[in-house]
Structure 1
Amino acid sequence: MAQDFLNQPAASPVPPGHLPVIVTYLEMASPPDRPAVPKPPGDLALVRANPPTWSFYRYLYDTVGEPWLWHERRRMPRKELERSIHDPRVEVWVLYVDGTPAGYFELDGRAPEMDLAYFGLIPDFIGRKLGPWFLDSAIRMAWERKPKTLLVNTCSFDHPKALGLYQKMGFVPIRHVARRIRDPRVDGFLPRSAGAHIPIVE
């Protein structure tokens, strides 16, 4: 999720309207050699949106990402976003629980190093022990595409268990980058109620 909007080094004090963030980049160099995580009980299905409409993708992105201040694709012009998510090398997989969208992940295979570009659950489904199986499914699906390596990144805005779960599943941190961003809530790209765990600096 670290893109051009993360364009300044972190500094103290943080100026009004900005936020400090630490982005952790992780890599998995080979497919997992452990048993697959058992599928949780219930009516669970993984379905590829092939391709997703812009509105459905934005529903997933906005609903999953709002608590964690996902903002890059809210800023992205519609046509640019559609070019990305409609590329056949980009896969958007949606988790359904009892017929209801519960989360999604996005595999970006446009480079030899496949990127698990986005991964997350809709807030209503957090805490139901879906995360490990869901992430394991994404990882195994990615390796079926035979990438050179598998990449993912997370940041200090994300769920506090995200980094530990990625590492538990076999990702290894390769670098940490401290940056400063414009607060998307101040700029109007997110409601001011988003990311309640992150204070607004004004």
Structure 2
Amino acid sequence: MILPDGYSDIPAGKVAAIVTHLEMTARPVPRADPAGAWTLRRVETPPLDWFRDLYRRVGEEWLWFSRIRMPDAELTARLHSPQLEVYAMVDGNSDEGLLELDFREPGHCEIGMFGVTARLVGTGAGRWLMNRALEIAWSRPVERVWLHTCTFDHPAALAFYQRSGFRACRRQIEVRDDPRLDGTAPRDVARHVPVIE
């Protein structure tokens, strides 16, 4: 459905975001790595508790909730798919970044999840992690690498992806039940998105 021009009401109890899809169809010139002692660890068969904990620590403030609401069997099947790769960015002895690369569509790589915890925001860790993501993605026989971001995400996310070589290619509106109203997310997160009951 195409929304008409003008304002469209969003029912109470819902949240709405503008989702921007971005893509690259050729490997970009690599950006210089920032200084940092991070490492990347592939997690072959991610345990659900580990995955959801890191997912929350990276994305709860930005209203990441799809993997929290996903039934265990569905999430397990997704994470354990041989065409989906999950990586942890390690800072010292702690997993502080999440990267999910989805190769299930031949010739394409979707960066399904990407982010670092609040402790690393602004340190250059995101650029370091994106450099690793693009190295891995473009080492495979792909013709397109893509991802999406939305207006719930960190305000610098869209510009960061564009600096990394992605270009916007599609825009959508996503409407969902507010995860703070059913306990999926704490009530006090994402203050940049007001709760309307």
**Does TM, scored on the shorter chain, surpass 0.5?**
yes
CA offsets 1:37-89 (integer angstroms, 9 cap, x no match): 33333421111011211111111111111000011111111111011101111
Aligned partner of residue 13 in structure 1, secondary structure = coil
Matched, 1:80 2:112: no
User: Structure 1 72/93 Cα, relative in aligned 2: closer, same or farther at 3 Å?
Assistant: same
Name 1:139's counterpart in structure 2. 134
Name 2:190's counterpart in structure 1. 195
Quote the Cα distance in structure 2 between the aligned partners of 1:84 and 1:186.
26
Name 1:23's counterpart in structure 2. 19
Quote the Cα distance in structure 1 between the aligned partners of 2:80 and 2:191.
32
Within 5 Å, give how 1:4-43 maps onto structure 2: 12-32=8-28, 34=29, 36-43=30-37
Of residues 76-85 and 39-48 in structure 1, the stretch that sits farther from structure 2 once superposed is 39-48
Quote the Cα distance in structure 2 between the aligned partners of 1:8 and 1:53.
39
1:13 CA displacement: 3.0
User: Structure 1 92/8 Cα, relative in aligned 2: closer, same or farther at 3 Å?
Assistant: farther
Under a length normalisation based on structure 2, what TM-score does the superposition of the two structures give? 0.92
Under a length normalisation based on structure 1, what TM-score does the superposition of the two structures give? 0.90
Name 2:102's counterpart in structure 1. 108
2:122 to 119, 124, 127: 127
Which amino acid in the other structure matches residue 75 of structure 2? L
Quote the Cα distance in structure 1 between the aligned partners of 2:133 and 2:142.
13
Quote the Cα distance in structure 2 between the aligned partners of 1:48 and 1:8.
40
- 5+ residue gaps, structure 2, are none
Aligned length: 194
Contact 2:86/2:100 (8 A) holds in 1: yes
User: Structure 1 8/184 Cα, relative in aligned 2: closer, same or farther at 3 Å?
Assistant: farther
% identical equivalent positions: 37
- 5+ residue gaps, structure 1, are 1-6
